[in-house]
């Protein structure tokens, strides 16, 4: 899956990933390969990204929105 995380002033992360876990407005959820299309609001919390080499990247966010479609994940967010 291709993930792009866009912050207020810069791209915070861009690359191929195997998992993204994020703080949704209604609770935490994760996106894996071939996830159904979704648009969701994100709340304050910590995002967990696992890349293809199994490295874990953590990003703290204040809010945002995520769009998932055809194994492309785009997140526009505020960042702590």
Distances (CA, A) of 12 to 5, 17, 19, 52, 79: 5, 14, 16, 17, 9
The CATH number covering residue 40 comes to: 2.60.15.10
> Total structural domains in the chain?
1
pLDDT in tens, 49-64: 999 999 999 999 999 9
Listed in sequence order, the residues at least 6 apart from 27 whose beta carbon sits closer than 8 Å to its beta carbon are none
* Percent share of the chain, pLDDT over 90: 94
Please state the rounded mean pLDDT for residues 22-36: 95
Predicted confidence (pLDDT) at residue 9 exceeds the cutoff of 70: yes
Band (pLDDT 50/70/90 cuts) for residue 78 is confident
Domain interval for residue 46: 2-79
Please state the rounded mean pLDDT for residues 33-61: 96
pTM exceeds cut of 0.95: no
């Amino acid at each position: 899956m291709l993930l792009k995380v866009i912050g207020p002033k810069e791209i915070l992360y861009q690359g191929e990933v195997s998992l993204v876990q994020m703080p949704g407005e209604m609770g935490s959820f994760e996106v894996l390969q071939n996830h159904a299309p979704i648009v969701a609001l994100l709340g304050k919390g910590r995002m967990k990204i696992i890349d293809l080499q199994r490295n874990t990247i953590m990003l703290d966010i204040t809010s945002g929105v995520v769009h998932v479609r055809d194994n492309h994940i785009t997140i526009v967010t505020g960042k702590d």
